[in-house]
Amino acid sequence: MMIQTQGFRNFLAETGDVARFTARFFKAVFSPRFEMAEFLRQCFYIGYKSLPLVMITAFIMGLVITIQSRPTLVEFGAEAWLPKMVSVSLVREIAPVITALICAGKIGSGIGAELGSMKVTEQIDAMEVSGTNPFKFLIATRVLATTLMVPLLAVLADTVSLYGGYLGANIRGVVSWDLYWNQVFETLVFGDVMPSLLKTFFFGFAIGIIGCYKGYNSNKGTEGVGRSANSAVVISSLLVFIIDLVAVQITDLLNLN
């Protein structure tokens, strides 16, 4: 019982620390001067360097889901609904969430390890001594970059996964290019695209803030760096699912109204 109580207290304490860290981030963002060069550099590394992995995963995901869905629809005589079903499932849920999980694994661990190594080697302390604001230079730029890049990666993943779905639909059947995309765009409405896009901003923010928090507060030498990278991936992945659950509930309530 005492162990459970201590664990709950540690959870509440870390939650409070993350909240203070987030408040400090917003304070740093809205105070001059903004590090534009570092922000653009982080956008390149976070967005462009993650692009091949996200695109390959999205293509395979769209292809596999289409191939797996086809036999069930054929059994019920609804094969013509394949493009509509695949497009809605990919754009609404699968592509954004899988993209966020990939980014949590690649970007979250990278930020946690990078900042953790800077922390244990006292590079962050050296920046403070030299007059540079390490929080604004290291944290604000990375969190903003992940918040912006994850939605862009998710949009590209939607497109590539739908193309993968087109190829999957033509493996055992024949669906023309025009027919496939006409059905896709007839099915997708504003209520499908916009909520899935908006929640990716929260995905990116959660990944960035957790990765930066874990790395910035790393300790215990190289062992602490590994723990920071690992916990950044685990917590940010869990937050992706929690944010997705909340977003789905809010979307359903708005649709009911």
pLDDT for 239 equals 93
Gap between the Cα atoms of 55 and 250, Å rounded: 29
pTM of the model: 0.89
pLDDT digits (tens, 9 = 90+) for 37-51: 889 999 998 988 889
pLDDT band at 257 (very low <50, low <70, confident <90, very high): very low
pLDDT band at 12 (very low <50, low <70, confident <90, very high): confident
Q: Which of 3-17, 45-59, 155-169, 171-185 has the lowest mean pLDDT?
A: 3-17
- The yes-or-no verdict on residue 6 having pLDDT over 90 is no
- The 10 Å CB-count burial string (b at 16+, else e) for 134-161 is bbbbbbbbbbbbbbbbbbbbbbbbbebb
pLDDT digits (tens, 9 = 90+) for 207-243: 999 999 988 888 766 777 888 888 889 999 999 999 9
Gap between the Cα atoms of 166 and 204, Å rounded: 28
pLDDT digits (tens, 9 = 90+) for 96-138: 999 999 999 999 888 888 888 888 888 887 877 777 778 888 8
Highest mean pLDDT (candidates 20-34, 153-167, 175-189): 153-167
Percent of the chain whose predicted confidence (pLDDT) is above 70: 96
* Residue 103 tokens, joined: 């980014």
Mean pLDDT of all residues in 53-78: 87
Residues 151 and 50 sit within 8 Å (Cβ to Cβ): no
pLDDT for 1 equals 54
